[in-house]
Amino acid sequence: MRLFRKLALGASLLALAISACTTGGGSSPVASVTGATIKIGSDGFYESRLMAEIYAQVLEANGYTVERNLGLGARPVTAAAIEGGQIDLKPEYLGSGLGYYDKTKPTGDPATNQKELGAILAGKGGGITVLGYTPGQDTNAFAVRSDTASQFNLKKISDLTAVASQLTWGLPPECVTNPLCGGALKDAYGIDVATLKLTPLNACDAPMAEALNAKAIDVAELCSTQPAIARFGFIVLVDDKVTQPAENIAPIVRNDFLAKVDKAAFSKLLDDVSAKVTTEVLLKLGVDVAVNNKDVKDVAAAWLREQGILK
């Protein structure tokens, strides 16, 4: 989902992360004929890693050899990695992915976001294709504790404008330059991040939610499918200025990789699994990973077996 993810790592750390990746699967008719080993990456937060793992396991089950480069960092890192060929595929949140390249383009319609992002990525890194997207989505959300909501009568984000300076905000470090975070708050709501009492924390990770619950911060930038929202009874404020776009998830794939394989067959494998990922699925699997502390690989495998995709 996101522009709101972990800080970009340095080039040296990126190279280290990629060189240290693990390889799954083995040789097979598909892989041996095409010579197609696919390098799959993801952003740093749990849901992106989970979606990448789901795609990886589907491909492995169909004869591809997969090199995993999961949890690389924020979008500046993963965008550079796929454009530069260090990875071949990553799950992308359509609205934020589009906003990363052009903040004026994202809409509330996933089909439009997919089309616009595809047009931009066609000219990046030798060409990158956007495959089919999930019916489920995970949007950026600003949340408060129920006591804060009651104290300041907070129901929507615009209610924060008058009291913004009285609150401690938990925002990702890149929020200031992020058009869907700092840009949206300032342009739509008149809240200048540079003037806030701010605690920098990575969005959608447990420390952000824990800090909000512990009253170390009063406003947190979370993800709408984050299990901590229900667990701690947080109040998600209505984005009444409609600043956040549709955030359906789609794998984006380098064209030079697609040229090595049967593109139609490859795309169908991933499109079919994406079609099964509803918002409810993202919530359920998120609980398994983020609350029950189950391994991402195990959660992905169990769900794929439940769907009859894996045996």
Question: pLDDT digit string (tens) for 103-157?
Answer: 889 999 999 999 999 999 999 999 999 999 999 999 989 999 999 999 999 999 9
Of the candidates 306, 214, 240, 281, the one whose C-alpha atom is nearest the C-alpha of residue 47 is 281
Give the pLDDT of residue 248: 97
SS3 276: coil
How far is the C-alpha of 30 from the C-alpha of 256, rounded, in Å? 17
CB distance 94 to 58 below 8 Å: no
Closest CA to 92 of 254, 308, 288: 254
Q: Residue 7 — very low, low, confident or very high, per pLDDT cuts 50/70/90?
A: very low
Residue 216 has pLDDT above 90, yes or no: yes
The helix (run of H) or strand (run of E) holding residue 92 is: strand 89-93
For position 184, what pLDDT does the model report?
93
Q: What is the pTM of this model?
A: 0.79
**Residue 19 confidence (pLDDT) above 90:** no
Query: What are the structural domain ranges in the chain?
Result: 11-137+245-306, 140-236
239, 157 in Cβ contact below 8 A? yes
pLDDT at 214: 98
DSSP secondary structure letter of residue 26: -
Average pLDDT, the chain: 89
User: In which residue are the tokens 């209610």 written?
Assistant: 159
Q: pLDDT band for 68, please (50, 70, 90 cuts).
A: very high
3-class secondary-structure state, position 27: coil
Given this chain, do its domains 11-137+245-306 and 140-236 carry the same CATH topology? yes
Q: Quick check: 257 pLDDT over 90?
A: yes
Closest by alpha carbon to 79, among 244, 252, 259? 252
Find how far residue 99's CA is from the centre of its chain. Answer: 13
Distance from C-alpha of 271 to C-alpha of 165, rounded to nearest angstrom:
45
For residue 192, is pLDDT > 50? yes
Mean pLDDT (whole number) for 210-229: 95
Superfamily covering domain 140-236:
Osmoprotection protein (prox); domain 2 (3.40.190.120)
Cα angle for residues 169, 170, 171 (degrees, 5° grid): 105
CA dist 118 and 127 (Å) reads 9
pLDDT-above-90 percentage for the chain: 78
| Block residue for tokens 């990702």 | 172
pLDDT at 156: 97
Q: Cα(281)–Cα(294) distance, rounded to whole angstroms?
A: 15
Question: For 11-137+245-306, CATH number?
Answer: 3.40.190.10
Confidence of residue 66 (pLDDT cuts 50, 70, 90): very high
